[in-house]
Amino acid sequence: MSRRNTEGSSPFPTRRLVKIVATAGGMLLLVSAVALRRGLRLAHRAAKAYPAPESLIMHPVMDVSAERVNDRQLKIVWTITASRVTIYAGDDPSRIDRSRALAVLENGESQAIVDAPHLRTYYAVDFEQDGQVRTRITAERILKIDGAFNFRDLGGYPTRDGRHVKWGLVYRSGALGGLTDDGVRALEALNIKLVCDLRGADEIERYPDRLPTHPAPQVVKLPVVDIGSPFGRIAAVVANIGHVDALLLKGYTETLIDKNPQVLAGAIRRLADAANLPAIVHCAAGKDRAGTMAALLLLVLGVPEEIVLADYSLSNLRYEDFRAMAEPQIQPLRRLGITVDDLQPVLVANPEILKQTLQYIRERYGSVEHYLQMAGVSAAELEQLKTHLLE
């Protein structure tokens, strides 16, 4: 199913349109002057069909994964062939209770329903075949933190050299200002040591995070510069409705990547310090800035690009949240016939945009590693990152 973007003739002349746009939170400063002089020609814009957000989701292909069934149970699914599968659980990946098995399966089953009474439970799945046993650690990736959204664990992903990203050490998220008391307690249970906030100063001032205080994590502000305000992004889409993909790609490459190497490298350097783990990296929606940061981290750890793109695409599971966030921002533009569905390209996480961004990094900087090293990350820090985050 796709969303169709259509509109009729506009009763507003250019001068009137400029005035209306200017009232929308200062959007006049953010919309291209050239586009405004053209009057934005909304009445003559061709109808545009956008893909359904769910069609952009690429679930990471994993040999073992866990997903929530209900408030107290998870389903663990695997593709590994084994004559016997035994599942254990613990509150930490390094503290699995092997005194009691949650499940023992011997008939070639490929999934099991297990208890998950707590916010965070980790599972050791032992696969026995021909006298050999290999173990995989798995956990729920998408965490339900009350008052937060798009909160995900970056653990569990395989690397090209046969290792895996450790669970429970790096999380990516949207803003944390809406946390309830239960949400704050949930973060306390995760034992967060560091929060890397990629938002700008104005965003932080308007929507400050609500974080645990006993103990309080270290908060490092690493503002990604020149991405513009939400109004600016909305205005840019309105002014360039026929070239949205090119506009978004330019925002990722020429702005996020080219203008923010020190910011992104600063986050990587902090994550290379074991004293800062577990850590959260977040922006406002946990989609673009945090998504790019997560992609760079996973790539330098050796996670294959197709899995990195799939992780990025999981933000589309929260599309309705992004849509709801955008609704108040476009209220002044409804008189122009603009709806939130016109903004769908900036509300989704299109993996093709990230794919082209990564290609841009390779062409311009040689590799993600070289891009980060040019911004001050040392080879030793990259090795420390792997030492602390891989198993």
CATH code: domain of residue 284: 3.90.190.10
- CATH code where residue 79 lies: 2.60.40.10
Q: Are residues 149 and 134 part of one domain?
A: no
> Considering the entire predicted model, what is its pTM?
0.86
What does the pLDDT look like over 59-78, one tens digit per residue? 999 999 999 999 899 999 99
Residue 17's φ and ψ, nearest 5 degrees, are -65, -40
Res 326: pLDDT: 82
Q: Are residues 91 and 118 part of one domain?
A: yes
Instruction: Supply the DSSP symbol for 371.
Output: H
Instruction: Supply the DSSP symbol for 316.
Output: G
Res 29: pLDDT: 33
Give residue 78's domain range: 59-140
Q: Are residues 332 and 243 part of one domain?
A: yes
What does the pLDDT look like over 182-234, one tens digit per residue? 999 999 999 999 999 999 999 999 999 999 998 999 999 999 986 555 556 66
Mean local confidence (pLDDT), 9-38? 37
**pLDDT over 90 at 341, yes or no:** no
Res 317: pLDDT: 96
- Pairing, β 103-105 against β 122-129: unpaired
Looking at the 3D structure of the chain, how many domains does it have? 2
Res 282: pLDDT: 98
Mean residue pLDDT across the chain: 86
- Pairing, β 218-221 against β 194-197: parallel
**pLDDT over 70 at 5, yes or no:** no
Give the residue from 122, 140, 158 where a domain finishes: 140
- Concatenating the DSSP letter of every residue in 186-208 gives HHHHHT--EEEE-S-HHHHHHS-
What does the pLDDT look like over 234-246, one tens digit per residue? 666 666 666 778 8
